[in-house]
Structure 1
Amino acid sequence: MKLVLSEEQRQLQESVRSFLRAASPLPKARQGYDPQVYARLNGELGLSGLIVPEEYGGAGAGLAELAVALEETGAALLPGPFLATAFAAIALAATPDKELLSGIAEGRLAATLGLPADDEISCDGASASGTLPQVLSGMEADVLVTPASTPASTPASSDGEQVVIAVELTGAGVTRTALDTLDLTRGQARVTLDGAPCKVLGPRPASGVTERVCVALAAEQLGVMRAALDAIVAYAKIRVAFGRFIGSYQGVKHKLADMHGKLEQAESIVRYAAWAADEAPDELPEAAALAQAFVGRACFEVARDHLLLHGGIGYTWEHDAHLFYKRAKADEVLLGPPRIHRARLAELLEL
């Protein structure tokens, strides 16, 4: 087990942090997705191809490195399809497609991953139909990667099992409707497929993809937690109330200590889960379930307390506290509420 970043990972962390500090400072998150920032993120740092295998033009890194990058993009509340593309790249690693992976690695394609319930999307081998009610970055992405069910009579499947398909979101038969979302910095869309041309990539993997997606999301949540805590600690050192810095009050100090404790636990959980994804896949199901069961809720609690401790100014539209609060809540339920992951963890542990 490895819970400490290597020297190369620390260098990656600093590179991404420095880039985002200059190219996408926090006030810019309010403006939404900036394609130029996304293009630079991929062109200068090659982040979209971080976990794409080298044979497809990527860096061939592991989930541990992706987690480092996602922690920094989470801390910066980076708008746009980076997280969604990372999800899609994780899925494509299990059912590789040269054209899609090369496009992601080169930064030409922004992709997203659909996680439908059973039978929501159907595919006859050439076209797909169905509706995905909430697709992360569905308006910005170029390609949708999603599981689909196939009739037993199609060439894609002899017995009607699930396959993974890719659909061009700008193509015929695709309707995208932007949703009003809690998180103002990153959108979602309702995607309806009505005989949309699709490409069957292969059988749906029995396991591994959803778990890795859980770990990737937890890494972003870790970054949101860290940035929120850093912001309120800095504020507690300069805000004066009743002639004293608010950080000197016991009620504030204890709350900050509790928040720090949650952050430390979350970091250990995320580092372990990312290590398991790369080095110990047998341990991944439990690690991934734990990551979402604990980190999702802890992230929201830290973001909530960060807002509360700012006092009245934290409730204003002009302050950034509500941006962290909304990203934390949106991430907490993105892959289902924490109770689902707690139940999954209990099942795996036979409790």
Structure 2
Amino acid sequence: MAFSFTDEQQAFREVVQRFLADKSPPTEVRRLMATESGYDEGVWLAMADELGITGLTVPEAFGGQGFGPVELGIVVEEMGRALLCAPFFSASVMAASAIRHAASAGQQERLLPDVAAGINRATVAAQEADGHWDPAAVAMVAERTADGFRLNGSKHFVLDGMSATRLLVAARAAGSAGADGINLFLVDADSDGVKRRVLNVIDPTRKLAAVEFHDVAAERLGDEGNGYSALRAMLTDATVALANESAGGAQAMLDMAVDYTQMRVQFGRLIASFQAIKHQCAELLLEVELAKSSAYYAAEALAEGHEDALASASLAKASASDTFMRAAKTCIQLHGGIGFTWEQDTHLWYKRAKSSEVFLGTPDYHRELMLQAWPEEEVA
């Protein structure tokens, strides 16, 4: 597959870069990560009103931009580079995808305009206490009642779960097992019986919550039993986007490392002049470029519906996660002692690298998925 960005895509990237340079400098990242919500409402609304990116993948018929995985990759790559604190990944990536894949036409018409406008921010609540990302591992049961459905149980590691106004909850029919009987259910986050608590996590720029449901009324999205396929499709979309975001974070670490080596003096010379330092930066550059290539290959494969799209998504996630972690570690080490201080910004990206490493599944998990999903004729 030959791939290159169009002039329009390059111009789009530059617009996003300028916006993020203004709205998400490290000082603002530090301010927002200390807040409960973890984002700035004014910046979020500007993302919706000025850039229109909150509805980037929402069809134009519902007020969105109607763009695909490649354009989404451009946006999240730049967000990863700037370490933007905003509910974009939860609402505009995961929830938007889940609604598109699970909801009926009428439900999409009702829900997606809010996603595009940046209001009624939704998030997906799928994981449970075991931390599994396999949709078939859903254990929560949805009880059918005379007036709809009721949910009881808990969800863990819900991205932006404290600030979301809507929850898309994965649950299954009583007596079902495996991929059968699973659906996504819409719940207002302030409904009676919903209790949320913030989780203490390594990455303060990415807020997670645990959510308990006590006899909570819920609306099923779409047809009965379509939840497994919808969750699988959503996770594929999100996995590709996270690969792009991680590649952007790795690029930020490479840039910071190179910049610092051209400032720091040891033994009377800039450390950038030492061959060992040059080798580390050159090797890291190659790894970052490979991670970007894998991520955009996966985005294009997903956009074109190629048969290796699922395998490519997992390959991209594993590659980008490994590269982001290596880039963060190398950047800190090249900074020397100052790299381990709170005042230095490198640890912010390191913590994001660590959280992204396990978010949506570890690199080892995705390497296994890749082998399972790869087209048989290519494996042979």
Q: Same fold (TM over 0.5)?
A: yes
Aligned to 1:4: 4
1:73 to 57, 79, 83: 79
4+ runs deviating over 6 angstroms: none
**Could you give the per-residue CA deviations for residues 65-85 of structure 1, whole angstroms, max 9, x where no partner exists?**
111100111111111211111
2:140 to 121, 139, 145: 121
1:312 to 320, 337, 344: 337
Closer, same or farther: CA 224–282 of 1 in aligned 2, 3 Å: same
Inter-partner Cα distance in structure 2 for 1:160 and 1:273: 28
**Could you give the per-residue CA deviations for residues 186-213 of structure 1, whole angstroms, max 9, x where no partner exists?**
2110111112222111221524222111
Inter-partner Cα distance in structure 2 for 1:299 and 1:308: 14
Inter-partner Cα distance in structure 2 for 1:130 and 1:103: 27
Inter-partner Cα distance in structure 2 for 1:49 and 1:42: 7
Q: Does the 8 A contact of 1:109 with 1:141 survive in 2? A: yes
* Residue range with higher mean Cα deviation, 194-203 or 268-277: 194-203
Closer, same or farther: CA 297–196 of 1 in aligned 2, 3 Å: same
Inter-partner Cα distance in structure 2 for 1:173 and 1:8: 47
Where does 1:10-25 land on structure 2 (aligned, <5 Å)? 10-25=10-25
Aligned to 2:154: 131
Instruction: State the SS of the aligned residue for 2:31.
Output: coil
1:105 to 116, 120, 142: 116
1:50 to 56, 61, 65: 56
* Residue range with higher mean Cα deviation, 95-104 or 130-139: 95-104
Instruction: State the SS of the aligned residue for 1:79.
Output: coil
Inter-partner Cα distance in structure 2 for 1:302 and 1:241: 22
Where does 1:56-95 land on structure 2 (aligned, <5 Å)? 56-85=62-91, 86-95=93-102
Aligned to 1:283: 308
Matched, 1:146 2:166: no
Q: Does the 8 A contact of 2:94 with 2:235 survive in 1? A: no
Long gaps (5+) in structure 2: 33-38
Where does 1:1-351 land on structure 2 (aligned, <5 Å)? 1-32=1-32, 33-85=39-91, 86-96=93-103, 97-116=108-127, 118-124=137-143, 125-151=148-174, 161-202=181-222, 203-206=226-229, 207-349=232-374
Inter-partner Cα distance in structure 1 for 2:151 and 2:5: 43
AA partner of residue 121 (structure 1): M
Instruction: State the SS of the aligned residue for 2:330.
Output: helix
* Residue range with higher mean Cα deviation, 160-169 or 306-315: 160-169
Inter-partner Cα distance in structure 2 for 1:321 and 1:263: 17
Q: CA deviation at 1:165?
A: 1.4
Q: CA deviation at 1:214?
A: 0.6
Q: Does the 8 A contact of 2:249 with 2:353 survive in 1? A: yes
Long gaps (5+) in structure 1: 154-158
Q: Does the 8 A contact of 1:2 with 1:271 survive in 2? A: no
Percent of counterpart pairs with the same letter?
Answer: 36
Q: Does the 8 A contact of 2:126 with 2:138 survive in 1? A: no
Instruction: State the SS of the aligned residue for 1:52.
Output: coil
> What RMSD over aligned residues (CA atoms) do the two structures have, in Å?
1.8
Aligned to 1:156: none
**Could you give the per-residue CA deviations for residues 111-134 of structure 1, whole angstroms, max 9, x where no partner exists?**
212233534322224222221121
Inter-partner Cα distance in structure 1 for 2:138 and 2:321: 28
AA partner of residue 112 (structure 2): L
Inter-partner Cα distance in structure 2 for 1:214 and 1:178: 24
AA partner of residue 308 (structure 1): Q
Inter-partner Cα distance in structure 1 for 2:50 and 2:334: 37
Please give the TM-score of this superposition, normalised by the length of structure 1: 0.94
Q: CA deviation at 1:152?
A: 6.6
Q: CA deviation at 1:163?
A: 1.0
- Alignment size in residue pairs: 346
Inter-partner Cα distance in structure 2 for 1:174 and 1:16: 36
Q: Does the 8 A contact of 1:109 with 1:143 survive in 2? A: yes
Q: Does the 8 A contact of 1:290 with 1:341 survive in 2? A: yes
**Could you give the per-residue CA deviations for residues 306-339 of structure 1, whole angstroms, max 9, x where no partner exists?**
1111111111101100001000010010112111
Inter-partner Cα distance in structure 2 for 1:119 and 1:263: 35
